Amino acid sequence: MLTSGLGLLSGQSVRQLQVLDTTVHNVANVDTPGFKAIMLSYMHDSSSPTGRIVPTMPRETVDFRQGDTHGTGNPLDMAVMGKGFFVLETPDGPAYTRDGRFTINGAGELVNLSGYPVMGDGGPVILNGDDITVETSGVIRVDGLETDRLRIAAFDNPAALTRADGGLYFDSTGRAGIADAEDVMVLQRSLERSNVSAIQEMVRLIEAQRIFESYQKVMHTIQDIDKLSTGRIGRMA
């Protein structure tokens, strides 16, 4: 019985550690433009009559809800309003992001902070000029002349996207179902804030820490009782 209880508590401790890791990651990105909060859900053991939760098999989901936007004054900063993503060209194939902190590389290409080219209808967006204007439709004008249009991707099932570092997402399984980006606008000189609720995450962090500490205390108590019982049995023998 003691061993069974210890195993159950150990599993619950693992679960709380996973919650802690996810919450810390969210808090660390509360000021990262375009960052989407990460949530954990746990699978149920179908073989158990009680449908118990399997603590070591978390399912990570992303909260894709729109974050607030704020103006920056930088003509290369952009935000997507609606259910769309900027498209980037990477060595691993097309990547999608909500982080619109862009710059121009030596070849005149519009790139993200990692140096990946931002894609337009004509391929990588090239900006050779001084006056850069991006309309809400994504049309890009350089010195008054239309040069390209930002490619904005949307998905029928964004939950199927694979999350990667740097605020990137990949449709690695092909199950996200790329679709037309309807009711989507691009805001120039603006960035989308992270949709992480700092207050909510801090509350979750405190709760997870307290629960984890409680589990640790109970586990130590069970171990002490187990040692005491084992010692008594040995003396009786």
Domain residue limits, the chain: 2-64+196-236, 69-192
Query: Which pLDDT belongs to residue 38?
Result: 94
Tell me the whole-structure pTM to 2 decimals: 0.78
The predicted-structure confidence for 188-227, as pLDDT tens digits, reads as follows 999 999 999 999 888 877 876 776 676 666 666 666 666 6
The predicted-structure confidence for 12-70, as pLDDT tens digits, reads as follows 556 667 788 888 899 999 999 999 999 987 665 555 555 555 555 667 899 999 999 99
* DSSP secondary structure letter of residue 4: H
Residue appearing with tokens 């999608």: 96
Q: b or e along 150-161 (b: 16 or more beta carbons within 10 Å of the residue's beta carbon)?
A: bbbbbbeebeeb
